[in-house]
Amino acid sequence: MPAASASTDTHQKRWVLVCAVLASTMAFVDESVVNVALPRMEADLQTSLSAMQWVINAYTLCMSALLLIGGAAGDRFGRRRIFMIGVSVFTLASIACGLAPGPGALIGARALQGVGAAFLIPCGLALISAVYDEKERGAAIGVWSGASAVAAGAGPIIGGWIVDHLSWRAIFLINPILSIPTLWIAVRYLAESRETERRTSLDWPGALSVFVGLGAIVYGLIAAAAHGWGDARVSGTIIAGTALLLVFLWIEHKSVAPMVPLGLFGSRQFSGVNLLTLFLYGALAGTFFFVPFLIIQVHGYSAAAAGAIFVPFAVILGALSKWSGRLMDRFGARWPLIIGPTIAGVALLLLALLSGDGRYFAFILPMIVLAFGMAITIAPLTTTVLNAVPQEQTGVASGINNAAASVAGLLVIAVMGTVALRVLDLEIDAHLRRAQPNAEVRREIDAARGGFVMPRAPAQFSAQERVSLEQISKASFVGTIYLVLLVMAALAFAGASIAVLMIK
């Protein structure tokens, strides 16, 4: 594919950017809206935290494993064509999510959403890269990340209102509405682009091995909450998954058309920015998974109010991302990629310290600080990935980076979900010993173990029993999520350390 030139039509560039923003908004809105709806889903479907982990991880697993194929397929068969296929699959899967009769069907539809996202996200970024030259690319990606963030940030408050007043099922109707203008623009204004130098087959053995390998590891990590780390099903699947990932690396080394060209990691810059992505986006995924439980279950806010917590984050991110892209174009990536994750780590540490405070501002303030950290980071991070590889490999590069972000969330949610359930049990035991409640209160608390929904007092409870039940449950949840958020802050600080060591 020839490099973009100054003669590329400005009108077409704008339509490409709008189309990429709309498509990424579908994926990002869906992810953020689902997080806000998780407590209601768990209660309505009468299921467990493990099922809620799979509602997130089925999507993330399929997206992580196939993002690499999605980027390569766009390079090979045409980025516009694969992009439109991804949008269409994502739309149909969203409708299936809304109609799902139970947890199993919902998890299956979420997996299909992940397949669609794996094709639309890397091809959207590659389409931007195809029409903007290197001097303009940072600002364009800043607009993409900022506009996508604003739209995605508006998703939780809209979705929260829908959950409160309609049903969690209705949140999945947002995506079909967005898909209509996205597909119309793609048909009307997007030009096809592809890699013309190589016409080799796609790396399906690699995709299968990484999909099954990651799936086995995640299954083992989530199953550990119910069966314990010493159970053969847990250790066996984790060992088998790890072995399959080693097989994946061997396949990539031998393949004539690897979906992960291992030679790209010979670049210190490319390796460093992907490691940073792994740590930082793992911290974000874990935070956004657990914070709605804290706000809704522990502090009693509505789903809409929980969604509104994320609005300052989205507004600040959108307002500053274009500036951040231009800053990177002018001064380079190193300092933004050190300072941004450090600020994010401070924000998550602050959120942990304020997690027991029921005042609304106690959540708004850390989100504002987190937004500043991410605004400084996102555009330089994405631009560095694309600039670290030859033009004809931008689809693969964006796929690898998005896969790193997705794998981070996949593993962190699987690990921390299991850890959180164990810590919650320990916290409950400790608070029961201190409070010494009567048998009825103890029975209600014990009946709720294994889930991540606070028990509600039966109608026959006295006022004193209600207070006792609420105090023990709230203190146990706050202690658990405090620990989770401390781990998330440590991951963000680790990302900043990677930038110090590896980014030029």
More confident residue, 197 or 38: 38
Please, what is the average pLDDT of the chain?
81
Cβ-Cβ contacts under 8 Å for 417 (sequence gap 6 or more): 49, 50, 53, 222, 225, 289
Helix, strand, coil % in the chain, rounded to nearest 5: 85, 0, 15
- Check pLDDT > 50 for residue 73: yes
**Residue 411 has what pLDDT?**
87
Least confident of 212-221, 318-327, 425-434, 452-461: 318-327
- Check pLDDT > 60 for residue 467: yes
Q: Is the pTM of this model over 0.85?
A: no
Q: Give burial (CB, 10 Å; 0-12/13-18/19+) of 293.
A: buried
**Residue 110 has what pLDDT?**
93
Helices 361-387 and 134-165 pack at an angle, to 10 degrees, of 150
The confidence band for 3, taking pLDDT boundaries of 50, 70 and 90, is very low
Say whether 482 sits in a helix, a strand or coil: helix
* Torsion, CA 279, CA 284, CA 289, CA 291, rounded to 10: 130
- Check pLDDT > 80 for residue 106: yes
Check: CB of residue 348 under 8 Å from CB of residue 489: yes
Phi, psi of 395 (to 5 degrees): -65, -45
Q: For residue range 322-360, what is the model confidence (pLDDT) as tens digits?
A: 676 677 677 777 888 898 899 999 999 999 998 888 788
3-class secondary structure for 5-54?
CCCCCHHHHHHHHHHHHHHHHHHHHHHHHHHHHHHHHHHHCCCCHHHHHH
- Check pLDDT > 80 for residue 102: yes
Helices 311-331 and 361-387 pack at an angle, to 10 degrees, of 30
Least confident of 55-69, 149-163, 232-246, 489-503: 149-163
Check: CB of residue 317 under 8 Å from CB of residue 146: yes
Q: For residue range 152-202, what is the model confidence (pLDDT) as tens digits?
A: 667 777 778 888 888 888 888 888 888 888 888 888 877 777 665 555 567
**Residue 79 has what pLDDT?**
80
- Check pLDDT > 70 for residue 1: no
Find the distance separating the first CA and the last CA of the chain, reported in whole Å. Answer: 28
Q: For residue range 376-413, what is the model confidence (pLDDT) as tens digits?
A: 888 788 778 877 777 667 667 777 887 788 788 888 88
